[in-house]
Structure 1
Amino acid sequence: MTTGFDAERIRKDFPVLSRELPGGRPLVYLDSANSAQKPTRVVEAMREHMAMHYSNVGRAMHALGAESTEAYEAARDKIAAFVGAPSREEIVFTKNASEALNLVAYSFGNRTNDDPRFRMGPGDEIVISEMEHHSNIVPWQMLAQRTGATLRWFGVTDEGRLDLGNLEELVNERTKIVSIVHQSNVLGTVNPVERVLARVRQVGALMMLDASQSVPHQAVDVAALGVDFLAFTGHKVVGPSGVGVLWGRGELLDAMPPFLGGGEMIEAVWMDRSTYAPAPHKFEAGTPPIVEAVGLGAAVDYLSEIGLDAVARHERELTAYALEALADVPGLKVVGPRDLDMRGGTVSFTLEGIHPHDVGQILDDEFGVAVRVGHHCARPLHLRFGIPATTRASFYLYTVPAEIDALVRGLHHVRKVFA
């Protein structure tokens, strides 16, 4: 495999990739869909802020308070630019993507919200898909239980694509919101947002994307996508854990009630009532993830300098290389698209007669290869394919072909162990 992308140089920015595991094994990290490793720049930005500038934001009338607030709000500006948000006020910091999805789900059927777009009750419908992460299933289940609305979902084809055969029947005049994953964390499938959104607009519904697997790996522009809400999480974007992002159209955020109550999300408080700050601050109750937001700002700066288009090309070449190499492993079956069309750098598979937990343990213990095993918080998708679990290898900007070679050698060894 040849590529103009200098992943070897990029690897030098990630200290953990040079470490040895117990027994002298080099680390082969193929679990970036779970969580990405962190470049030195992000670590140092967080250390510097914590050591020299830390204070609470938006409330302290002193130099440290001003510096911390400036850094926190500068991170909001960086992230708005990173995803093409028309306004910085459309960027809400959350704990993670799960909280962002829950925030939007909470707004529907809320008695404090009289906007008809957010009314939800018996006869109304919510549409998701069978390939969703639990974070984009459970909040909508809870909304349906709370309001009496009906939860419906797109199926998945045998090839691992969203089944749009019943799009017009599934998304109809009763639909209030469609929330689907942009790129599957199991299948690697990139979903056809434009086609689904066209139908959503026909029926006057809203649309949300779980972009936790797309924002780190491809250029995402919320204005160009045209959806209403988008969520992603910091730790998959070479940033820290503990911080996520909700982007929402400004007029929708203005219409939504607060999700959590407390300090800093208020305008004024009396003993019997409160008024609320405008978005995004009305959704950021209490002390926010200040240092984590600073780290996420540094992370998107880092990715922007490299270029997401270049990252996507690199991962496409790696995925092509991996799919070809894995095809030589006896008994291995890829779960998901076998071609590169609308596909990201995540490859999940089964190995005939061998449980994924055994696969992952041997790869780690004997080859230093870190992969994810299990249902990857997408149990309904595994049930759809009639399997309890898969092994998942996932690639990122710092992945090199030699690591895929190590994975394949390890899988051949696993086959011999269980022969």
Structure 2
Amino acid sequence: MRKRRMYLVSWLNSSGVLPNSWNEGRGNRARIFDLENYIRSAEIARRGRIDAFFLADQPQLTPNPKVRPEYPFDPIVLAAAITGRVPDIGGIVTASTSFSLPYTLARQIASVNLLSGGRIGWNAVTTANPAVAANYGAAIATHDNRYERAEEFLEVVHGLWNSWKFPWDEAIGPNPNPFGEVMPINHEGKYFKVAGPLNVPLPPYGPPVVVQAGGSDQGKRLASRFGEIIYAFLGSKPAGRRFVAEARAAARAQGRPEGSTLVLPSFVPLIGSTEAEVKRLVAEYEAGLDPAEQRIEALSKQLGIDLERINVDQVLQEKDFNLPKESATPIGILKSMVDVALDEKLSLRQLALRMRLIAGTPDQVADRLIDWWQDEAADGFVINAPLLPDALEIFVDQVVPILQSRGVFPRSYTESTLRERLGLPRNPLG
């Protein structure tokens, strides 16, 4: 049986997670339009043997001077460029099921996966942002309809990925059946009618890895059927343990093999050499956010908390929350916030000030990650560096060696494909 180990993925969009990050650091805002900016961060991640880089996406531009342009490049195009230059490291690309066609997206992701030698994953999102919908001449569908469409979309994509099984072991010399096994899918559903087969063959190492961030009931169902990496919010450790156990049980209930689902919460690392430096970094991070009162008001609206009924300094109760059915913020993140508040007995003010930070010295940050991983509150983590490449470089040079010395993270890439590296089954759906 394969020994359990921690997995690490690095968020690699734009200039960092801080809203003003493109105006900070080296100061050249145009760097986010330069491939070399992303290559450098990917090379730093590779130096730390990070399993994959992660490219999120919102195909829209919000010209707010206080907010960085997060996603100037199409993730699939950018991942192809990065993996063509940087070996070993995997790449996870985000693409929506709401504004794409299954054949087109299946072909694009299968292409970059094959060209990279099996290093690609697809973060399948349903997109709840009205501004994005407006760019595609559409209105946002209801939550239920988005997930219903997504489920059928993923069924079609998996069917297409498996529709052409080229005989890789018999590729040299003439062959009476040079194509191998070709199977049109002839899918006819509520949302799509797709004949197939796909004109990109299934590689011998299996299809791309599917990533999902299911937190709502429909999202959890989608993740239970198709999600191999579950991207999660860093809440409380008890909530993390519950989420991991539920995700594994749900995958088993769908007949999927053991080890077919990994849960990776995201966090922002703030790493200082002393306690005083850590305190300063946290204060600087907070200063870059909206004022506390604005965050309290915004959070109350997100979580359906009536500010006229509760005191912002009283400990929140389950009855204080009234989560919306429709929200631009993923329902899973909202539910994680509720879990944090209830598990840690927080007031609304404390919840608004509690950030998804892991702040400390290198040893303290490593201890926190190992504690969560050992207690199975996570299988690994997504690193959201506040400023790229600087904060990522600090994590790679100061925290990763500690994880390696404690035997929870590898010192080298021993598997060439992302699927093998993550210990995922070659046939993800069983």
| TM bracket, shorter-chain basis | under 0.3
Q: Tell me the TM-score normalised to structure 2 length.
A: 0.26
Q: Tell me the TM-score normalised to structure 1 length.
A: 0.26
